[in-house]
């Protein structure tokens, strides 16, 4: 499966939707295909079940389909899609926005495994606001792309001004407001600037504490860890998310917002050399659960997310001189983020998720 073949397949499924043709859609799948749109329910099994599911298009009209190819490998393709349609007979205009992953066997042009995650908006749009730290590269860019695609206005921050502005320029194609503020997230004055930016937009719905400090590279054992480095790791990975969440609370409470704290499998692994970073993420996990309990009555949700191993600059710093090309790109987590940001915050608050898990479930 190459990029052109996958795009042809995506166009074909979009055309089947626009033309309200369930059979054309079903023909794009192998007879034994699985089709899953809800990670908590079993997938549909086989082409007849897919055909029956697609029969719902008969209740839709005036369908507009758009797509963006995100990533294509030899066996799987990821795409972001959005659809606007009118419900029959209510005449309600509906917007759907989602991500799907389609898997193909060698030399096959029909999909044999399909997974998608989507959100729905009915009626007038209400522009939401998200603040993302560590937003100039890697997972931060993936998160920002996901939220911009869902019509969020964004406040982005990172230390590198040039790369942050490049990211902001790329995201402005979505037509949302993008405020890019470069600076040191551990500095209280910079934290105040970020909250003031959110106040200028009138609200804050999502706070993503993504910025992290790995520590020295190569990573030392605890016996050799410089205490100054250890303190700095905790300042960035624990104290800063605490301080930023404290400052953001009035806005988050007003909108029943969500705080997402980025964790790591190192928080529970006890891996040699990962003591500084891993223990800081373990502390952040505990803060997240405590925040969730303390903010339950206020209707503010707090979750931890372990994104898994990814091909990022920080991961390369953890393995200096090693080839990490076998790790997936951060975009592999897009389906999870699409799902997470479509949930009711009170349903997920206090949970810890693994973004690359087959099924998203609580990990204690």
**Residues labelled catalytic:** 277
Closest CA to 146 of 81, 77, 66: 81
Compute CA distances 261 → 69, 149, 235, 282, 352, whole Å: 28, 21, 15, 11, 9
Sheet strands side by side (includes 29-36)? 44-45, 29-36, 111-122, 93-103, 76-87, 60-72
| Residue 296 near residue 349 (C-beta atoms within 8 A) | yes
Tell me the CA distances in angstroms from 109 to 53, 139, 244, 306, one per residue in order: 21, 31, 48, 34
Q: Looking up tokens 């997240």, which residue turns up?
A: 288
DSSP letter string over 60-123? EEEEEEEEEEEEE-SSEEEEEEEEEEEETTT--EEEEEEEEEEE--TT--SEEEEEEEEEEEES
CA pair distance 355, 116, nearest whole angstrom: 14
3-class SS string, 188-200: HHHHHHHHHHHHH
The residues near 90 (Cβ < 8 Å, ≥ 6 apart) are: none
């Amino acid at each position: 499966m190459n990029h052109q073949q996958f795009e042809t397949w995506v166009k074909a499924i979009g055309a089947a939707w626009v033309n309200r043709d369930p059979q054309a859609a079903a023909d794009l799948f192998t007879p034994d295909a699985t089709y899953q749109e809800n990670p908590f329910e079993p997938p549909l099994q086989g082409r007849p079940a897919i055909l029956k599911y697609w029969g719902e298009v008969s209740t839709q009209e005036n369908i507009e389909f758009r797509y963006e190819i995100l990533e294509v490998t030899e066996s799987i393709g990821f795409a972001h899609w959005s659809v606007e349609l009118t419900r029959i007979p209510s005449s309600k205009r509906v917007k759907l926005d989602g991500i799907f992953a389609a898997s193909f066997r060698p030399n096959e042009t029909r999909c044999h495994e399909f997974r998608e995650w989507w959100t729905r908006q009915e009626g007038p749009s209400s522009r939401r606001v998200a603040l993302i730290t560590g937003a100039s590269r890697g997972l931060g860019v993936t998160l920002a792309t996901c939220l911009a695609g869902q019509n969020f206005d964004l406040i982005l921050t990172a230390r590198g001004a040039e790369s942050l502005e490049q990211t902001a320029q790329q995201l402005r194609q979505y037509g949302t407001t993008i405020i890019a503020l470069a600076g040191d997230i551990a500095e209280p004055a910079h934290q105040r600037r970020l909250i003031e930016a959110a106040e200028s937009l009138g609200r804050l719905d999502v706070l993503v504490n993504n910025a992290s400090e790995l520590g020295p590279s190569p990573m030392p054992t605890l016996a050799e860890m410089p205490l100054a480095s250890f303190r700095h790791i905790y300042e960035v990975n624990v104290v800063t998310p605490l301080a930023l969440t404290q400052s953001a609370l009035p806005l988050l409470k007003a909108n029943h917002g969500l705080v997402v704290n980025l964790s790591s499998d190192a928080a529970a692994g006890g891996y040699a050399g990962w003591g500084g970073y891993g223990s800081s993420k373990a502390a952040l996990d505990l803060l997240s659960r405590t925040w969730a309990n303390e903010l339950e009555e206020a209707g503010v949700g707090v979750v931890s997310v372990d994104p898994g191993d990814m091909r990022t600059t920080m991961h390369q710093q953890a393995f200096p001189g090693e080839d990490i090309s076998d790790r997936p790109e951060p975009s592999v987590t897009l389906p999870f983020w699409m799902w997470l940001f479509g949930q009711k915050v009170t349903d997920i608050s206090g949970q810890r998720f693994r973004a690359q898990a087959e099924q998203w479930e609580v990990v204690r």
